Amino acid sequence: MDYIAVIHKDADSDWGVSFPDFPGCVTAGETLEEARRMAAEALALHVRGLAEDGLSPPRPMALDAVARHPDFADGVAVLVSLPEARPKNVRVNVMLPQADLEAIDARAREEGVSRSSFLLRAARAALTGPGAGCVWNDRA
């Protein structure tokens, strides 16, 4: 989900950032790029705090509504993406031929990843790459 951040600059200050959807969520940066990065961090921290309090973030305001608001007239609106919640991992039990499992583990070690990460990456490639959707009839 994207939220609007308004970046503004007074003559004798850093670049300030505020969020119309989250009064009190503000940050700043010495450069415009730093202000943009800090905006993403501030938004993530603010929304995490809401979640810890059992609250959900509001629906984002429309850009037109922000543009008409006098408090944000002197700023530049940018979209800041809210990081997605970390997906819940689920343990699964699969049967594989021992030689295949040993080859998977060896390759995962070579790549410096866990068996789970290696298998997930392979499965995602099969689901989205060329030939996605084909049915395999391998009986393990």
82-106 residue pLDDT tens: 877 666 788 999 999 999 999 999 9
Per-residue pLDDT band for 137 (boundaries 50, 70, 90) equals: very low
Statement: residue 132 has pLDDT above 70: no
Instruction: Give the pair of three-digit tokens for residue 113.
Output: 């990843």
Is the predicted pLDDT of residue 40 greater than 60, yes or no? Answer: yes
Band of the pLDDT at 72, cuts 50, 70, 90?
A: confident
pLDDT value at residue 10: 80
Around 106, how many Cα atoms within 13 Å sit in the side-chain half-sphere?
6
Q: Is residue 127 predicted with pLDDT exceeding 80? A: yes
Tally Cβ neighbours within 10 Å of residue 113: 14
pLDDT of amino acid 140: 46
pTM of the predicted structure, to 2 decimals: 0.58
What pLDDT shows up at residue 139?
47
Using alpha carbons only, give the angle 83, 85, 86 rounded to the nearest 5 degrees: 115
- pLDDT over 50 (residue 33): yes
**Greater confidence, 30 or 131?**
30
What pLDDT does 100 receive? Answer: 95
